[in-house]
């Protein structure tokens, strides 16, 4: 299926020094710190290649414990993250580690008889067919399947394809014994992204049995109700369903069957457009979708499971590539700052399973080897997704969607083009700048004609300023639009300033209670209780003022309260480590 907006080819984007490259570096360091034998421990155990009467040193525990029914899920996430790091950063060291792991999975497959390579026993699948309670075996093995596919697609590991095809034979034979009714019952137990795996495999092999697997994993009891317009999401486990819809998205791309695309569009409409989100961009409490627009009663210590913003960002990526609709790029950015960055410890790189939004909240961080929640898995993938979300190619040129310092190598109409995007820190300003500014330097092998579409984000607070080689452009103040530049490019410099400022975002069902944002970034108040603030919510400057704004040559993004009984500070939510914080505040108007 041809996509309207195409991400850049792997390896064409290099991250430059920035917050994003630093977070990616921390994540890589964690991934490389994990021992191969411990990553493989549960696959070895299932293949009879590892056993111990006591817990070995450095053994992975928590959800990776040999006593946990979800054991082995993390390795697949790890492989997917490693494959992306190699594809985009040409990280030969992590590829060597990943290739070895794939070879060991091949050894496990041989020991298991030539097909099965899961970290759990096959009988778990027979148990769910009999209605016996077991914790998400499809979800667990999907991670290994997807990791193998990513190693094939992104890292060129052909052994991964061989393992996948042999393993698919087991699933084709096993699912073939059930009626459609029985399969529907089986798929009611969390299936993860199995549909996406089979769609991916069919796209590679074009084998009939892989197409049959795709159709057998059609989640009809969810998808048909979505298409009927029912609210099937309220109080439903969110991250159970998002990967299933990823499968529908990929099925649309490989088959062109319009039903699959309609499922994806219906899911987005129901989960985002009709439901609303917190200021962070995400949703959920206790891992389930809240009722549409009714968020205030569910502020708590278990908001925003990390897997949800990550997987919804993946879904937004699918939809953007099909449509070019800017709202998906805006959504991706908001969740990047206030989900992916906010739920990674800035120093240790560990993940916060949830992002609490109750008053006086505290983030609970995972450990390197003792937890391995599902969110540990999406953590190691999430910080490898920056590369292919910045630019998208169209038939007429290039779209710039995200402001992440980078350099791009691109070919358009047989002409090599290099674009460097760097942040302008505006160090010469007398006070902290009220804009995000960046420079684009374009260098082409030969003069070449194309369009450059620059995203004007939803948080825009004034008229953007864009110059091309020092000549100002006429740019209207129209948030959530693109400004198009059409030129014959050769050696050019573009300067972009996007005005931002403090804004408030109310809870949808409690408009007198608001969160504060600075551009796309949610601010967290450093207080351990709910406090009413006094001021005008339409003019946040009556409540907050810049605080400690400069350190040597750098601007700092902090604020403090004014006109309040007790003062306290606000910092970006993504900078919170172990402090107590509050995001939403009741506002009382000042009496004049």
Interstrand relation of 585-588 and 533-534 (parallel, antiparallel or unpaired) = parallel
**Is the pLDDT confidence value at 51 over 80?**
no
Percentage of the chain surpassing pLDDT 90?
A: 96
Residue 544 host element (H or E):
strand 544-546
pTM: 0.96
Q: What is the pLDDT of residue 57?
A: 74
CA distance 163 to 148: 8
Number of residues that this document lists for the chain: 592
The answer on pLDDT for 438 being more than 80 is: yes
Paired with 561 in beta bridges are 544
Q: What is residue 52's predicted lDDT score, i.e. its pLDDT?
A: 64
Region 177-188: mean pLDDT is 96
CA distance 287 to 39: 26
Give the model confidence (pLDDT) of 59-89 as tens digits.
999 999 999 999 999 999 999 999 999 999 9
pLDDT at 101 over 70: yes
4 pLDDT band (50/70/90 cuts)?
A: confident
List, for residues 317-354, the tens digit of each pLDDT value: 999 999 999 999 999 999 999 999 999 999 999 999 99
What's the confidence (pLDDT) of residue 1? 40
Predicted local confidence at residue 2, as pLDDT: 45
pLDDT tens for 440-471 read: 999 999 999 999 999 999 999 999 999 999 99
Q: List the Cα angle 372/374/379 in 5-degree steps.
A: 85
DSSP one-letter string for 69-132: TTTTHHHHHHHHHHHHHHHHH--HHHHHHHHHHHHHHHHHHHHTTSS---SS-THHHHHHHTT-
Whole-number percent of the chain with pLDDT over 70 = 98
pLDDT band at 55 (very low <50, low <70, confident <90, very high): low
| Residue 58 confidence class, pLDDT cut points 50, 70, 90 | confident
Q: How confident is the model at residue 590 (pLDDT cuts 50, 70, 90)?
A: confident
Q: Is the pLDDT of residue 53 over 60?
A: no
Cα 375 to chain centroid, rounded: 11
pLDDT tens digits, one per residue of 207-256: 999 999 999 999 999 999 999 999 999 999 999 999 999 999 999 999 99
Rounded to the nearest integer, the mean pLDDT of the chain is 96
Give the integer Cα–Cα distance in Å for 72 and 485: 49
Residues 386-429 pLDDT 10s: 999 999 999 999 999 999 999 999 999 999 999 999 999 998 99
């Amino acid at each position: 299926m041809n996509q309207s907006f195409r991400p850049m080819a792997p390896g064409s984007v290099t991250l430059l020094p920035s917050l994003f490259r630093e977070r990616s570096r921390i994540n890589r360091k964690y991934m490389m710190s994990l021992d191969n034998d411990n990553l493989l421990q549960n696959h070895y155990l299932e293949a009879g290649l590892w056993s111990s009467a006591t817990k070995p040193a450095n053994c992975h525990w928590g959800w990776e414990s040999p006593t946990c029914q979800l054991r082995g899920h993390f390795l697949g996430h790890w492989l997917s993250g490693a494959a992306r790091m190699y594809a985009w950063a040409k990280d030969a060291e992590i590829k060597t580690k990943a290739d070895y792991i794939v070879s060991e999975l091949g050894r496990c497959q041989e020991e298991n008889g030539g097909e099965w390579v899961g970290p759990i026993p096959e009988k778990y699948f027979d148990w769910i067919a009999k209605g016996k309670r077991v914790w998400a075996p499809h979800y667990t093995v999907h991670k290994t399947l997807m990791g193998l596919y990513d190693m094939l697609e992104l890292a060129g590991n052909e052994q991964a394809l061989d393992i996948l095809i042999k393993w698919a034979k087991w699933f084709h034979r096993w699912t073939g014994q059930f009626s459609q009714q029985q399969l529907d019952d089986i798929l009611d137990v969390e299936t993860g992204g199995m549909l996406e795996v089979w769609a991916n495999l069919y796209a590679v092999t074009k084998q009939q049995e892989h197409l049959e697997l795709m159709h057998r994993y059609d989640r009809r009891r969810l998808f048909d109700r979505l298409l009927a317009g029912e609210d099937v999401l309220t109080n439903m486990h969110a991250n159970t369903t998002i990967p299933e819809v990823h499968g529908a998205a990929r099925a649309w791309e490989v088959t062109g069957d319009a039903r699959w695309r309609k499922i994806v569009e219906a899911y987005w409409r129901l989960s985002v457009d009709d439901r609303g989100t917190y200021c962070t961009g995400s949703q959920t409490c206790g891992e389930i979708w809240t009722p549409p627009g009714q968020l205030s009663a569910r502020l708590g210590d278990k908001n925003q499971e990390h897997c949800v913003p990550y997987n919804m960002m993946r879904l937004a990526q699918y939809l953007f590539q099909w449509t070019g609709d800017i709202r998906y790029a805006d959504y991706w950015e908001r969740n990047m700052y206030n989900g992916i960055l906010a739920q990674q410890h800035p120093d240790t790189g560990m993940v916060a399973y949830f992002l609490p939004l109750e008053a006086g909240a505290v983030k609970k961080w995972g450990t390197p080897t003792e937890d391995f929640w599902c969110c540990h898995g999406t953590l190691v993938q999430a910080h490898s997704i920056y590369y292919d979300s910045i630019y998208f190619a169209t038939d007429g040129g290039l779209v710039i969607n995200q402001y992440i310092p980078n350099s791009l190598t691109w070919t358009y109409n047989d002409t090599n083009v290099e674009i460097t995007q760097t942040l302008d820190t505006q160090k010469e300003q007398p006070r902290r700048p009220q804009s995000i500014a960046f420079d684009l330097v374009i260098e082409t092998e030969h003069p070449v004609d194309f369009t450059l579409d620059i995203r004007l984000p939803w948080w825009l607070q004034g008229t953007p300023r864009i110059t091309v080689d020092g000549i100002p452009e006429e740019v209207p103040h129209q948030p959530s639009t693109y400004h198009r530049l059409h030129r014959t490019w050769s050696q050019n410099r573009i300067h972009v300033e996007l005005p931002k400022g403090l804004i408030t975002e109310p809870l949808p069902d409690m408009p007198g209670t608001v969160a504060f944002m600075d551009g796309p970034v949610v601010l967290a108040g450093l207080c351990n209780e709910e406090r009413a603030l006094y001021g005008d919510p339409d003019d946040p400057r009556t409540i907050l003022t810049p605080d400690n704004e400069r350190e040597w040559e750098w601007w700092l993004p902090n604020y403090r309260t004014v006109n309040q009984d007790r003062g306290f500070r606000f910092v970006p939510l993504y900078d919170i480590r172990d402090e107590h914080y509050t995001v939403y505040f009741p506002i009382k108007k000042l009496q004049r």
